[in-house]
Amino acid sequence: MEQSLKRLHPFILAFDLYKLIKGNIIFFVFIFLLNMGSDKWWIQTAKWLFLAYVVIMLFVNIGKWLTYRYEIKDNAIYIKSGIFLKSEQTVPFLKVQNVQRQTTVFHKIFKVTSLTLETAAVGEESSITFDVISRAEAESLERVVTVTYEQQVINELTEAELFEEQLVEQEPKSEKTTHFTPTKRDLVKASFTSLSFLILIPIIFKLDDIVKFDTFADEVTDALKWGWAILAIVIIGVLLISIAIGMIHTFIKYGKYEISSDTQKVYIKKGVLDESIFSIRKEKVQAVEISQSLMKRLLGLAEVKLISAGNTTIGEVETNTLYPFLPVHRAYELISELLPDYQVEESMHKLPGNAFWIRMIRPSYIWLIATAAIWYFKPSLWWISLALLLVIYVSRILDFKNSRYLLNESFIQMKEGGFSTTLFITKRSQVIEVKAERSKLQRYFNVASIETVNRAKPVHHNKLIDVPHEVANEFYRWYMDRKHEIKTQ
Amino acid sequence: MYLKIEAPQRSISKEAVKVWRITETLENAGILAVLGILYYLHMRFEWKEWIGWIILGLLILTVLNAIWEILFEPTLKQKYWRYDVDEEFIQLKHGALKEVNELIPMTKVQSVELNQGPFLRKYGLYSIQIGTMGTEHAIPAIPEKEAFELRDQIAHYAKIKEVE
């Protein structure tokens, strides 16, 4: 019994040490390097305390490693851990919503990786993370999860279906196909869209302080004739450098993107230095979101996100984004390639004219408060109030123009947004509850708001305001029909 | 083959009005007291003038809000609250100014809970809390017997879970 329990890869100790050093580097530099020769009593004490802390942490980490054991049993992963406070955790594979793998530079050096199995539960127990694990072990764990799901599907089939299934099985099983990797052209486009070269602007301002461009400018006027040439060269030089830096930045972030899929799962791989792979079973995708910032709309690019009920971030980085700079049509194509179940219609219904007028008269509380504040504190800045009003109205008009909806058999599509837009697509069976609202004002204009709730972390509410009142009714009926398409246990 | 949606029929206890009047009175009195103290401190320690205006503004808003919430809203809220429960869905419909309709599939219900504060107890009422994967919903004031029946009914229907 004890034999079958496995420990994590011993390199975890090196990883923990690395994290310990990284976490305390500022403190370390402060007391050991900046105050090297100091014999102040408190520096001395801090040095000893710090050393004691490091030593204790080393032992704690060893203890953690020794006590952390896991095994695979009955289609679940079972974990025993804790030095003093023992804890046991069981996660059935069928509860896994998505799998994340992160291979940082550190992992690459030691030829290992990390693996996280995400479930839809809340709290600390919602996921299992193996910070350091051999690549073979990570592969095999992921395979076990996949096999468990396959088994479940087979169990559900009746014998007749099973027979058919076996016939289908005769055909060669489809391998992983790659759907998208950015070309050089895509990357160049991306580096312009993300405006990452603008990071140089603050640096130029700093430079301005140091070099004193003003005096330089005087000299330029003195020697106008060839001064212009210098100025032009400087400007072009700065521009080129900033574009180059922007491209390097983009390349590191988006260079090694790869979107692939097999019959069951979708894989999103990204990152040049720290590499991450997000994988999700197709039927676990709760919804798809296509978003476009103003810049992306101008360039015809879009970002597609697969919404999962499990966590989709590693640290700050979102891992569930298909490439964020996809040409719009390619984005739509990609969705139907990756998720054959999903039917995305590009033509949707516009909002009725009433929706325009209601948006024109709806009070803007932000504007009222801002205006009151300006009027009280600095009436001379009255034009800000006017500008704000203009921005709000332009945004409202754009929002009216951009808003679309469609109830397409078992799918719903909702698009909204003023300057930047999002299109949300989900299946009726994935919607966990719905809401329809009508305020007094909306009642007068014969419009209503509809809202879907989907599983995600945090729970995803998607609301579209001012659809025709009849559509809200239809939406409600549409949702009631879900009972025909769900399977109960 | 669209079904016609039946609007939910069951209403909540009339006593809810009294309960809400009491709780709203207490709540608003609390907010007024806090604002009053702030205003006193403002006068006493001569805070910046605009702070005084904001406190005064909030005071006026609270008074207006209190009149609405204590005198008018409870009756309207009670009048428009409707709910219904069947094997497939929980339907809620409520709102005095804004009409809100909610539709919750039974298979997604995770928990049902009966709650009773001191004022609900006084009138023999319970509020039913329904927890789903995403949010919490509450049916505010239901007589004891009905409340227990409803809880058992929801718990029974909610046992069936979907294959995810």
Verify whether the Cβ–Cβ distance B102 to A433 is below 8 Å: yes
Q: Which two tokens stand for residue A431?
A: 């919607």
Instruction: Name the amino acid, one letter, at B69.
Output: E
Nearest to A309 by CA among A290, A287, A328: A287
**How many residues does the structure list for chain A?**
489
Per-residue pLDDT of chain A (489 residues; tens, 9 = 90+): 445 788 888 888 988 888 888 888 888 888 777 777 777 788 888 888 888 998 999 999 999 999 999 998 888 999 998 888 888 888 889 889 999 999 998 899 989 999 999 988 877 778 888 999 999 999 999 888 888 888 877 776 655 555 555 555 444 455 788 998 888 888 888 887 766 555 556 655 555 555 555 555 555 555 555 667 777 888 888 878 877 887 888 888 888 889 999 888 999 998 888 889 999 999 899 999 999 998 888 888 899 999 998 888 877 777 888 888 898 989 999 998 999 888 788 889 999 999 999 999 999 999 999 999 999 888 898 999 999 999 999 999 999 999 999 998 889 999 999 999 999 999 999 999 999 999 999 999 999 999 999 999 889 999 999 999 999 999 999 999 888 777 776
A455 vs B contacts (CB less than 8 Å):
133-134
Domain segments of chain B: what residues? Answer: 16-78, 81-157
pTM of the entire structure? 0.83
A480 vs B contacts (CB less than 8 Å):
3, 5, 88-89, 103
Query: What does DSSP say about strands A404-408 and A127-134: parallel, antiparallel, or unpaired?
Result: unpaired
Nearest to A453 among B88, B95, B134 (CB): B134
> Any idea which residue has 């009642």 for tokens?
A443
Q: Identify the CATH number of the domain defined by range A343-489.
A: 2.30.29.30
Beta strand extents in A419-477 (DSSP E only): 421-427, 431-438, 447-454, 460-468
Q: Identify the CATH number of the domain defined by range B81-157.
A: 2.30.29.30
A479 vs B contacts (CB less than 8 Å):
103
Chain B: which residues have CB within 8 Å of chain A?
A: 2-5, 50, 53, 88-89, 95, 97-105, 107-108, 132-135, 160-164
Nearest to B107 among A435, A479, A488 (CB): A488
Alpha helices, DSSP H, located in A212-282: 213-222, 224-254
Verify whether the Cβ–Cβ distance A486 to B132 is below 8 Å: no
Phi, psi of B28 (to 5 degrees): -65, -35
**C-beta separation of A191 from A250 below 8 A:** yes
Verify whether the Cβ–Cβ distance B163 to A489 is below 8 Å: yes
Q: Dihedral sign for Cα B116, B118, B122, B123, please.
A: negative
Beta bridge partners of A361: none
Q: Three-state DSSP class for A288?
A: strand
Question: What number of CA atoms fall less than 13 Å from residue A207's CA on the CB side?
Answer: 9
Q: For B54-94, how does the pLDDT look when each residue is reduced to its tens digit (9 = 90+)?
A: 999 999 999 999 999 999 999 999 999 999 998 889 999 99
Q: For B104-144, how does the pLDDT look when each residue is reduced to its tens digit (9 = 90+)?
A: 999 999 899 999 999 999 999 999 999 988 789 999 999 99
B135 vs A contacts (CB less than 8 Å):
433, 453, 459
The CA angle B141-B142-B148, to the nearest 5 degrees, is 135
Q: Which of A122, A307, A459, A480 to mutate to test the interface with B (most CBs of B within 10 A)?
A: A480
Domain segments of chain A: what residues? Answer: 2-170, 185-254, 343-489
Nearest to A310 by CA among A88, A95, A140: A95
Q: Three-state DSSP class for B7?
A: coil
